[in-house]
Amino acid sequence: MANLNELSQQDFDALAQDVRQRYEDLKAKNLNLDLTRGKPSSEQLDFSNDLLALPGKDNYRTKSGVDVRNYGGLDGIADIREIWAEVLGVPVENLIAGDSSSLNIMFDLISFAFAFGTNDSPRPWREEETVKWLCPVPGYDRHFAITEQFGFEMITVPMTEDGPDVAAVEKLVQDPQVKGMWCVPLFGNPTGVVYSRETIERLAGLEAAAPDFRIIWDNAYAVHTLTDVFPDNPNVIDIAAAQGNPNRFWYMSSTSKITHAGSGVSFFASSVENLDWYRSIANIRGIGPNKENQLAHAMLLGDAEGVRALMRKHAGSLAPKFAAVIGILRERLGGYGVAEWTEPQGGYFISLNVVPGTATRVWELAKDAGINLTKAGSAFPHGVDPENTNIRLAPSLPPLDEVSEAMDGVATCVLLAAVEKRELQ
Amino acid sequence: MANLNELSQQDFDALAQDVRQRYEDLKAKNLNLDLTRGKPSSEQLDFSNDLLALPGKDNYRTKSGVDVRNYGGLDGIADIREIWAEVLGVPVENLIAGDSSSLNIMFDLISFAFAFGTNDSPRPWREEETVKWLCPVPGYDRHFAITEQFGFEMITVPMTEDGPDVAAVEKLVQDPQVKGMWCVPLFGNPTGVVYSRETIERLAGLEAAAPDFRIIWDNAYAVHTLTDVFPDNPNVIDIAAAQGNPNRFWYMSSTSKITHAGSGVSFFASSVENLDWYRSIANIRGIGPNKENQLAHAMLLGDAEGVRALMRKHAGSLAPKFAAVIGILRERLGGYGVAEWTEPQGGYFISLNVVPGTATRVWELAKDAGINLTKAGSAFPHGVDPENTNIRLAPSLPPLDEVSEAMDGVATCVLLAAVEKRELQ
């Protein structure tokens, strides 16, 4: 195959005819396939079905004797905190366990800072003329939705193979209105990029003009490998403290894509000072998280090795789907010069860049053929991809044969949109 | 027994000597008793131990087939919403089910209104010069802590036997800075008062100057009778709509003191317009509540009659404790004119008023004798009871014999503080 734009008119016309025929055939199948969200599949959820009957009748005490059925315990129970401290490699006193959603905690952190200011803020963020927030792109739509909700000005930072363009970040944080940054450091959503050690060190050491500059370190894929290799999880709390920025990181994690997506346990790790600030408001917001669910998780997982054993099962289920997506992209699109994609070693997503200007059209063609893709642009603030090139692929939810069928269809749509674009030129 | 202040000096001296001896005897027992919080007892928590193994392995679908293990479903599952709609007598479309804590939702409602404004607000509450909030007293300390956190000016309203002094409320809401009011309409914390139908109608019909005036209707004790009789739960959403104020009530409920206190299901009922506003922000905050816990609750409770059957067990456990407290207060203090107390038909608390000016001293005497009471003043905004007279008694947690022992001690402390006060006069 040669680059589509370099084909002779005759070859191009033949290709165009073939692609149109394929698209008609695709539509005739009346598919109903969904690659929109990073949801675990039924098969993956089954791995943790023991949870549905845990902690088990008459099991309601933690190792230290706390009755998990009653009120109390804002930090969560030691049993699950100790396991997760081991998973992340942070001291247990730097980590608290919450309800099911770390996204809830991220929203609350920003909401508390907005209403009341952080422990390092000269004033509540709502009293700032403008709050600016750094958004590596492509990134996670639900992150951007939070900073949009609070009216922050979102400044995009390009992703590289080593993480966000840290030189750009170093310049941007000289503006005291820049109060924070979204980061997914491991197997990031949607690129799958793993931040390099150098990037992490430089983010920890950033000389930010705002004394209350915070990095939301959403380590959502801390153990979510697609191979036999588990990635390092650098202790950014220590790394930042060593560089004189002990309160820099709000470090998030959860079991959502480890046990059951909607009923997991979330974690928030940070400096003791940051945790004390969070507690001072969270303690007004309520009494504490669901400790029965935490005990159930501690019993299911056992220890960090138990977590890794479970993650190997997930890898066994997910890796063939990722391999299928990448195989089809290579086979159908390789050489035409109409697409580039990431080939991640972990996480939940593949980031696909199609011919600039055609992502929305690809999404539309796929939709008309019964294949739902995440909306084009969704990995950018306000849902606007300035190049209209990026599509996030989420292959986890459907069974393998549907992933393959959907991706073959997506490849056809990518080609057809590229053909249409050349025809208009 | 005669009124303490009317005793002859000789009789008073004899009483004083007797009370001091009793207090020394009390201290010599080295008690360690706790009447501080409205926590259910172990016996009560045992009633719902089936929850610990529910929904049960392989039970993960709702009646309509939703897989509760995965992400999604901001409103909670229909199975539990339908049961609770029946319990409260509201249409299911007016009610959503959340995570364990309704207090969390109350905080969020105020936080969202503060940051963004409600659906009826001309501007976010943070942009108001002052936000004022009506606080019937004595009331719930955690309510007042929320409005204190946001810097609202809390205006106290006296409680009557029919609920808050509604004539006072009618005047206060003519001030457009008054944006809301805390209410616990049934078996209120700590008085046990049940609002009369007239009070409810007048609150629903209040002509408030603020277009976004809200009543947080914390129906925490909706089915928490201490007798055979279950109270009415008027549908305040309808009542308010009929009076032209469809968005007046933010109606809260939860299973916290029905199943397991720390791992229940919370509920938020309101007009569809109010719910839509809440959803528009809650949907940014996260993806949805723990649906496995909701399914477990639906299976445990079955229907509204299942809830009532469970509450009869609670009444069987709690009523003897309340009877013991009231019996001891009558026996030890009746006639001395040193105390008044409520004798509630439901809920978790007894409100005890001691000789004005001595509540803090009673608390301190009890503490020194190993009996922990909720801090004097805690039922008032900022923890300050202007009369220094009110003490909240929470008899649910300790076993019956400890409740009796603690209350006998408390009675001694109340008398001793009264004796000390007369001696100083």
Q: Report chain B (425 residues): mean pLDDT per 10 consecutive residues.
A: 89 96 97 91 98 96 97 97 98 98 98 98 98 98 98 98 98 98 97 97 98 98 96 97 98 97 97 98 97 98 98 98 98 95 97 97 98 96 98 96 96 98 92
Question: How close B365 comes to chain A (CA, Å)?
Answer: 26
Q: Which residues of chain B lie closer than 8 angstroms to A282, CB-CB?
A: none
In a domain, B51, yes or no: no
| Nearest CA among A42, A16, A68, A31 for reference residue A265 | A68
Query: Across the interface, do A55 and B58 touch by the CB < 8 Å criterion?
Result: no
B52 and chain A: CB distance < 8 Å anywhere?
yes
Residue finishing a domain among B248, B269, B302: B302
Q: Which residues of chain B lie closer than 8 angstroms to A37, CB-CB?
A: 71
Q: Which residues of chain B lie closer than 8 angstroms to A54, CB-CB?
A: 52-53
Separation CA A40–CA A224 (nearest Å): 12
Query: Across the interface, do A107 and B54 touch by the CB < 8 Å criterion?
Result: no
Q: What is the pLDDT of residue B1?
A: 62
| Nearest CA among B227, A75, B288, B194 for reference residue A84 | A75
A27 φ/ψ angles, rounded to the nearest 5 degrees: -65, -35
In a domain, B56, yes or no: no
Nearest to B149 among A48, A58, A281 (CB): A281
Alpha helices in B158-303 (DSSP H): 166-172, 197-205, 236-242, 272-285, 291-301
Separation CA A377–CA A138 (nearest Å): 9
The H or E element that residue A424 is part of is helix A400-424
Separation CA A132–CA A124 (nearest Å): 14
Closest residue on chain A to B72 (Cα):
A262
What average pLDDT does this structure show over A6-26? 96
Separation CA B267–CA B259 (nearest Å): 14
- Are B268 and B341 in the same domain? no
Nearest to A52 among B57, B99, B100 (CB): B57
Determine which of A36, A59, A69, A116 to mutate to test the interface with B (most B C-beta atoms within 10 Å).
A69
In a domain, B372, yes or no: yes
Separation CA A32–CA A372 (nearest Å): 8
Query: Across the interface, do A56 and B57 touch by the CB < 8 Å criterion?
Result: no
Q: Which residues of chain B lie closer than 8 angstroms to A72, CB-CB?
A: 39, 262
- The answer to whether residue A288 scores a pLDDT higher than 90 is yes
pLDDT in tens, A325-349: 999 999 999 989 999 999 999 999 9
Host domain of residue A129: 61-302
Q: Look over chain B and give the mean of its residue pLDDT values, rounded to a whole number.
A: 97
Q: What is the pLDDT of residue A286?
A: 96
| Nearest CA among A107, A231, A90, A39 for reference residue B70 | A39
- Are A240 and A116 in the same domain? yes
Q: Token pair for residue B304?
A: 């509204």
- Are A82 and A11 in the same domain? no
Percentage of chain A exceeding pLDDT 90? 98
Grouping H, G, I as helix, E, B as strand and the rest as coil, residue A391 is: strand
Q: Which residues of chain B lie closer than 8 angstroms to A100, CB-CB?
A: 99, 289-290
- Quick one: how far is CA B312 from the chain centroid? 19
Q: What is the pLDDT of residue A1?
A: 62
Taking CA atoms, B3 is separated from A90, B333, B361, B410, in Å, by 63, 10, 20, 19
Phi-psi region at B5: left, alpha or beta (left = phi > 0; alpha = psi -120 to 50): alpha
Separation CA A330–CA A322 (nearest Å): 12
Query: Across the interface, do B149 and A116 touch by the CB < 8 Å criterion?
Result: yes
Query: Across the interface, do A39 and B116 touch by the CB < 8 Å criterion?
Result: no
Query: Across the interface, do A71 and B261 touch by the CB < 8 Å criterion?
Result: yes
In a domain, A135, yes or no: yes
CB contacts under 8 A, B 235-264 vs A, are 256, 260-263
Q: E-strand spans in A119-278?
A: 132-137, 153-160, 163-164, 178-183, 214-218, 249-254, 266-269
Contact A64, A78 (CB under 8 A): yes
Separation CA B157–CA B365 (nearest Å): 30
A383 φ/ψ angles, rounded to the nearest 5 degrees: 70, 20
Q: Which residues of chain A lie closer than 8 angstroms to B57, CB-CB?
A: 49-50, 52-53
Q: Look over chain A and give the mean of its residue pLDDT values, rounded to a whole number.
A: 97
Determine which of B254, B257, B287 to mutate to test the interface with A (most A C-beta atoms within 10 Å).
B287
Q: Which residue has the higher pLDDT, A1 or B34?
A: B34
Long-range CB contact pairs, B55-61, < 8 A, 24+: B55/A52, B55/B292, B55/B295, B55/B296, B55/B299, B56/A52, B56/A53, B56/B299, B57/A49, B57/A50, B57/A52, B57/A53, B58/A49, B58/A52, B59/A52, B59/B295, B59/B299, B60/A45, B60/A49, B60/A52, B60/B292, B60/B295
Amino acid at position B306, single letter: G
Alpha helices in A89-176 (DSSP H): 102-116, 141-149, 166-172
In a domain, B55, yes or no: no
CB contacts under 8 A, B 192-231 vs A, are none
In a domain, A71, yes or no: yes
CB contacts under 8 A, B 360-379 vs A, are none
Separation CA A289–CA B8 (nearest Å): 57
- Are A186 and A276 in the same domain? yes
- Are A228 and A363 in the same domain? no
Q: Which residues of chain A lie closer than 8 angstroms to B50, CB-CB?
A: 57
- Are A278 and A372 in the same domain? no
In a domain, A368, yes or no: yes
- Are B289 and B316 in the same domain? no
Q: Token pair for residue A273?
A: 């000072």
What DSSP line would sit under A321-389, residue for residue? HHHHHHHHHHHHHTTTTSEEE---SBSS-EEEEESTT-HHHHHHHHHHTTEEEPPTTTTSGGG--TTS-
- Are A92 and A30 in the same domain? no
Q: Token pair for residue A361?
A: 């059209």
Peptide bond into B234 cis (omega under 30): no
Separation CA A37–CA A396 (nearest Å): 8
Separation CA A246–CA A241 (nearest Å): 4
Q: How many domains does chain B have?
A: 2
Task: Report ipTM for this prediction.
Answer: 0.97
Q: Could you report how far apart the first and last alpha carbons of chain B are, in Å?
A: 21
Contact A385, A376 (CB under 8 A): yes
Nearest to A101 among B50, B56, B287 (CB): B287
| Nearest CA among A211, A145, A217 for reference residue A184 | A217
Residue finishing a domain among A277, A302, A327: A302
Residue B63 neighbours by CB distance under 10 Å:
11
pLDDT in tens, A245-281: 999 999 999 999 999 999 999 999 999 999 999 999 9
Query: Across the interface, do A115 and B115 touch by the CB < 8 Å criterion?
Result: yes
Nearest to B103 among A50, A146, A286 (CB): A286
Closest residue on chain B to A101 (Cα):
B286
B324 and chain A: CB distance < 8 Å anywhere?
no
The sign of the torsion formed by the CA atoms of A24, A26, A28, A34 equals negative
Residue finishing a domain among A278, A302, A326: A302
Separation CA A76–CA B231 (nearest Å): 35
Question: How close B3 comes to chain A (CA, Å)?
Answer: 41
Question: Which of the 8 DSSP states describes residue A184?
Answer: -
B61 and chain A: CB distance < 8 Å anywhere?
no
B74 and chain A: CB distance < 8 Å anywhere?
no
- Are B91 and B181 in the same domain? yes
The sign of the torsion formed by the CA atoms of A407, A411, A413, A414 equals positive
Q: Which residues of chain A lie closer than 8 angstroms to B72, CB-CB?
A: 39, 262
| Nearest CA among B292, B397, B382 for reference residue B36 | B397
- Are A269 and A324 in the same domain? no
Q: Could you report how far apart the first and last alpha carbons of chain A are, in Å?
A: 21
Residues 6+ apart with CB under 8 A from A232: none
- Are B138 and B179 in the same domain? yes
B61 φ/ψ angles, rounded to the nearest 5 degrees: -120, 140
Q: Token pair for residue A128?
A: 């700032």
Nearest to B68 among A72, A262, A288 (CB): A262
What DSSP line would sit under B174-197, residue for residue? TSTTEEEEEE--SS-TTT-----H
Separation CA A149–CA B283 (nearest Å): 11
Alpha helices in A225-352 (DSSP H): 236-242, 272-285, 291-301, 304-333
- Are A137 and A181 in the same domain? yes
Instruction: Give pTM, 2 decimals.
Output: 0.97
Nearest to B293 among A50, A72, A263 (CB): A263
In a domain, A49, yes or no: no
Contact B34, B405 (CB under 8 A): no
CB contacts under 8 A, A 102-131 vs B, are 103-104, 107-108, 111, 114-116, 126
The H or E element that residue A17 is part of is helix A9-28
- Environment class of B123 (CB within 10 Å of its CB; exposed 0-12, middle 13-18, buried 19+): exposed
B288 and chain A: CB distance < 8 Å anywhere?
yes
Amino acid at position A262, single letter: G
CATH number of the structural domain spanning residue A226: 3.40.640.10
pLDDT in tens, A203-245: 999 999 999 999 999 999 999 999 999 999 999 999 999 999 9
Query: Across the interface, do A71 and B37 touch by the CB < 8 Å criterion?
Result: yes
pLDDT in tens, B212-229: 999 999 999 999 999 999
CATH number of the structural domain spanning residue A371: 3.90.1150.10
